[in-house]
Amino acid sequence: MYKIGIYVRESRDDNEQNYETIETQKGLLEDFIESRNLGSIVRTYIDDNVSGAGFERKGIEQLKSDVSKGVINLLVVKDLSRLGRNNAKTLLFLDYLEENDVRVITYDGRYDSLKDNDTVGIDTWYNERYIKDISRKIRANIRFKIQKGEYIGNSPFGYIKSPNEKNKLIVNQDEAKVVKEIYRLYQEGWGYSYIAGYLNQRGCASPSKSTWNPVGVRRILCNRVYIGDTVQGISERISFKSKKTRRLPEDRWVITENTHDAIISKDEFYRVQKLRDDKSVDSSPHKGVIHLFRGIVYCGRCGSAMFARMRKDRPMSYICSSYGKNGKSDCTSHHIKEKELIDIVMEDLLKLVEGIEADSKLMGRIEKLFSNDDSQVEIERLNKQLNLKLRQQEMLYQDRLDEKISEDLFIRMNKQLEEKVGLLRGEIQDIKKNSLSIPDTSEIVDMLKRKVSSDVITNEIIRTVVGKVVIFDSGDKYSAEIWGDLVASDDRERLTKSGGIIVEYNY
């Protein structure tokens, strides 16, 4: 009479074959053991919805533990494929059981470890071939869905899965605002770390549901999903036997364009990719101070962004990023001092503000600059703090009802919470009042004139008025392919001969 263990397993590997459920397998094996009077069932080992490709399974680990302790000496399974579908590992496991004096019998009658089993290697090989074939079919099916533009897996930050259309992405409006903010800040010269810190300070939700980090920011900035494209098939499992994955080369990625609504325009996305490439050679990355012309000054010859360079005992200047990376083999420095650019733009700005009332488009930009754009974000942050204090009050009140704290302690703590709640509500009301008051035209003009006249000028002010600045060295051939009609045809020859600075304004 044996001390018997039953092992049953069911998983998605059983696709296309009508394997019995866990309960059905147990019933079959129990009847099998009883009809042959093999002994008593000591334990049933179960792995439900677990692949047979690997042997790192809870049921198998428990079985091995009991075998080592001598708890069982007979194992009964429906067939060898239930034990495993990895040829080598299944044979090794059978050897392990035999070495520990555990007999193995299958319900289908194809295997009994006490008898000669010349075909056991063929059976286990066939079981492995089956799962390999299933794995291949599943991969092909997933790839077909990807090629149709279906988004397989969890939705990326900024999107949710459509409840009406399978594997279709739709925009999550709250998260989309954060994505847009990341792109805006990066174009203003902010680095990954500083953007992450800013978002954490604002209490913005993150993809990891914890806090923002530089890696998360970088992934959002280089992901084509935000321009409406589905990019999948970036990695694959090394083998159906392994959970490890490997990254595939880009020519094997599956890219389907315009599968869902975009959050970022394609122009903005590729402008950011250009900035990312140029920033990789920037010798002075953003460390909390944004250079005045960061992200808007370009080399006239090659079109690359120019980055700020600060050297000891020398004034701040900008040079071509291609030149900074590869030297004269790619371009020339196109060196320009920041002070020269400031003088040019300030002179033009002072002329602009004198007649600013006549330009409604520019007026709108400057109104936005001086209005409190962050008021809603700040209100949301304060509301979160307010709700937290109100919940603390509720918990405090419940603790008093349950007599967990004394009345004196309750009164003292509740008074502190009431004061904090009052302050938060007051701050929220003040912000709401201030956000409704936008300076009129004359006030905005006066503010801008004061900033320009007193040299209080920032990157934000310059970007409000200036679209781009292009630096040409003498000898640079004007490229219409890069710059279009930025310069009139009559002036291009003179620009090539003498060089020059072109400023494109946002009006």
| Claim to verify: residue 49 and residue 86 sit in the same structural domain | yes
What pLDDT does 245 receive? 62
Q: Among 106-110, 118-122, 406-410, 462-466, whose mean pLDDT is lowest?
A: 118-122
What pLDDT does 280 receive? 53
| Claim to verify: residue 475 and residue 326 sit in the same structural domain | yes
Q: Among 10-24, 53-67, 329-343, whose mean pLDDT is lowest?
A: 10-24
Residue keyed to tokens 């800040």: 185
Q: How confident is the model at residue 469 (pLDDT cuts 50, 70, 90)?
A: very high
443 is a domain residue: no
d(CA 201, CA 197): 6
Please give the angle made by the CA atoms of 481, 487 and 491, to the nearest 5 degrees: 120
| Claim to verify: residue 211 and residue 240 sit in the same structural domain | yes
List, in order, residues 6 or more apart from 480 with CB less than 8 Å away.
none
The listed range with the strongest mean pLDDT (168-182, 268-282, 373-387) is 168-182
Is it the case that residue 42 has pLDDT exceeding 50?
Answer: yes
The listed range with the strongest mean pLDDT (260-264, 353-357, 459-463) is 260-264
| Claim to verify: residue 379 and residue 340 sit in the same structural domain | no
Whether residue 478 contacts residue 438, with contact meaning beta carbons closer than 8 Å, is answered with: no
Provide mean pLDDT across the span 426-439. Answer: 69
413 is a domain residue: yes
| Claim to verify: residue 126 and residue 82 sit in the same structural domain | yes
| Claim to verify: residue 476 and residue 490 sit in the same structural domain | yes
State residue 78 phi and psi, 5-degree precision. Answer: -65, -50
Identify which has the larger pLDDT, 197 or 235. Answer: 197
List, in order, residues 6 or more apart from 217 with CB less than 8 Å away.
182, 186, 192, 195, 196, 199
> What are the Cα distances from residue 399, in Å, to 83, 404, 409, 415?
54, 5, 11, 15
Structural domain for 429, as ranges:
375-437
Q: How confident is the model at residue 63 (pLDDT cuts 50, 70, 90)?
A: very high
Q: Among 41-50, 101-110, 299-308, 456-465, whose mean pLDDT is lowest?
A: 456-465
| CA-based nearest residue to 182, from 225, 219, 130 | 219
d(CA 53, CA 131): 7
Residue 132 identity: K
Burial, 208: exposed, middle or buried (Cβ in 10 Å; 0-12, 13-18, 19+)?
exposed
List, in order, residues 6 or more apart from 229 with CB less than 8 Å away.
255, 256, 257, 258, 259
How many other C-beta atoms lie within 10 A of the C-beta of residue 118? 6
| Claim to verify: residue 285 and residue 260 sit in the same structural domain | no
Burial 10-37 (b: 16+ CB within 10 A, else e): bbebbeeeebeeeeebbebbeebbeeee
DSSP character for 374? T
Q: Among 49-58, 119-128, 144-153, 287-296, whose mean pLDDT is lowest?
A: 119-128
- Domain end marker among 100, 134, 168: 134
Q: For 211-323, where are the E strands, in sequence order? A: 230-232, 235-237, 245-247, 254-256, 297-299, 306-309, 317-320
Provide mean pLDDT across the span 456-464. Answer: 70
- Domain end marker among 211, 244, 276: 276
231-271: pLDDT as tens digits: 766 655 554 445 566 666 766 666 778 888 999 998 889 88
408 is a domain residue: yes
380-396: pLDDT as tens digits: 777 888 888 888 888 88
Both tokens of 61, joined, read 């680990």
d(CA 280, CA 35): 74
DSSP character for 249? P
Q: How confident is the model at residue 471 (pLDDT cuts 50, 70, 90)?
A: very high
d(CA 203, CA 196): 11
Provide mean pLDDT across the span 5-10. Answer: 90
Identify which has the larger pLDDT, 104 or 452. Answer: 104
367 is a domain residue: no
Is it the case that residue 357 has pLDDT exceeding 70?
Answer: no
How many other C-beta atoms lie within 10 A of the C-beta of residue 332? 18
Whether residue 366 contacts residue 448, with contact meaning beta carbons closer than 8 Å, is answered with: yes
442 is a domain residue: no
- Domain end marker among 80, 112, 134: 134
Burial, 389: exposed, middle or buried (Cβ in 10 Å; 0-12, 13-18, 19+)?
middle
Query: What CATH number is associated with residue 130?
Result: 3.40.50.1390
d(CA 103, CA 94): 9
Q: How confident is the model at residue 291 (pLDDT cuts 50, 70, 90)?
A: confident
Q: What percentage of the chain carries pLDDT values higher than 70?
A: 72
DSSP character for 112? B
Q: How confident is the model at residue 372 (pLDDT cuts 50, 70, 90)?
A: very low
| Claim to verify: residue 262 and residue 159 sit in the same structural domain | yes
C-alpha gyration radius of the chain = 35
d(CA 158, CA 178): 8
- Integer distance in angstroms from the first to the last C-alpha of the chain? 95
Identify which has the larger pLDDT, 357 or 53. Answer: 53
86 is a domain residue: yes
What pLDDT does 179 receive? 94
Please give the angle made by the CA atoms of 230, 233 and 236, to the nearest 5 degrees: 155
Which conformational region is residue 499 in: left (phi greater than 0), alpha (psi within -120 to 50 degrees), or beta? left
| Claim to verify: residue 71 and residue 125 sit in the same structural domain | yes
Query: What CATH number is associated with residue 205?
Result: 3.90.1750.20
Please give the angle made by the CA atoms of 354, 340 and 188, to the nearest 5 degrees: 80
Residue keyed to tokens 């938060």: 424
| CA-based nearest residue to 327, from 293, 291, 281 | 281
Handedness of CA 167, 172, 178, 181 (dihedral sign): positive
| CA-based nearest residue to 255, from 233, 284, 286, 285 | 233
445 is a domain residue: no
Is it the case that residue 413 has pLDDT exceeding 60?
Answer: yes
Structural domain tally of the chain?
Answer: 4
47 is a domain residue: yes
| Claim to verify: residue 256 and residue 293 sit in the same structural domain | no
Provide mean pLDDT across the span 413-427. Answer: 86
| Claim to verify: residue 181 and residue 260 sit in the same structural domain | yes
**What's the mean per-residue pLDDT of the chain?**
77
What pLDDT does 158 receive? 92
Whether residue 268 contacts residue 183, with contact meaning beta carbons closer than 8 Å, is answered with: yes
| Claim to verify: residue 127 and residue 68 sit in the same structural domain | yes
Identify which has the larger pLDDT, 442 or 52. Answer: 52
Helix or strand run (H / E) with residue 337: strand 336-337
What pLDDT does 71 receive? 93
